[in-house]
């Protein structure tokens, strides 16, 4: 009887360890000066700065920051994985019983627009026109 209980505990402990394993939280934090600028990540509006956005993919991401009366910022930023997300450590990170957090902070300073330069509305119109052109081009390519 005691032998069966020992076997049961030997199976229960690893099962509990796997069930209680934590998770990895990946957060992209974007701040702007001045605040309340529109933020686009990979062509999608994600909100107004300051903001925190969960993300899944590491690598290169296009970030566009725009605010009326200020020059837009359009950059490609590299978001690198921490050491514990690389093989073979990633397996242990996923099984770690606690919470692991990977936080990336990006800060941008916007400069005032000079007289005669495009304002936010013109920029957004140009972005929408470009998006439509790309959509049409991809449809033509598919057919």
- Mean pLDDT across 99-127: 79
pTM across the whole model: 0.62
- pLDDT score for 19: 46
Domain locations in the chain?
23-142
Residues 41/12, Cβ–Cβ less than 8 Å: no
pLDDT at 80 over 70: yes
State whether the Cα torsion 76-82-86-90 is positive or negative: negative
> Per residue in 35-48, pLDDT tens?
999 999 998 999 99
Helices assigned H by DSSP within 47-114: 89-95
Residue 14: the pLDDT is 55
Quick check: bond before 131 cis, omega within 30?
Answer: no
In this structure, whether the domain defined by 23-142 belongs to CATH 2.60.40.1120 is answered with yes
Q: Is the pLDDT of residue 67 over 80?
A: yes
């Amino acid at each position: 009887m005691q032998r069966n209980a020992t076997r049961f505990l030997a199976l229960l402990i690893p099962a509990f360890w796997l069930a209680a394993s934590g998770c990895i939280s990946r957060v992209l934090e974007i701040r702007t000066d001045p605040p309340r600028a529109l933020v686009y990540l990979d062509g999608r509006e994600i909100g107004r700065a300051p903001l925190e956005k969960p993300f899944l993919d590491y690598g290169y991401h296009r970030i566009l920051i725009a605010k009326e009366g200020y020059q837009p910022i359009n950059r490609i930023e590299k978001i690198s994985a921490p050491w514990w997300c690389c093989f073979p450590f990633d397996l242990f990170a996923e099984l770690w019983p606690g919470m692991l957090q990977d936080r990336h902070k990006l800060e941008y300073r916007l400069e005032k627009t000079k007289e005669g330069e495009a304002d936010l509305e013109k920029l957004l119109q140009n972005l929408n026109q470009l998006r439509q052109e790309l959509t049409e081009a991809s449809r033509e390519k598919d057919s």
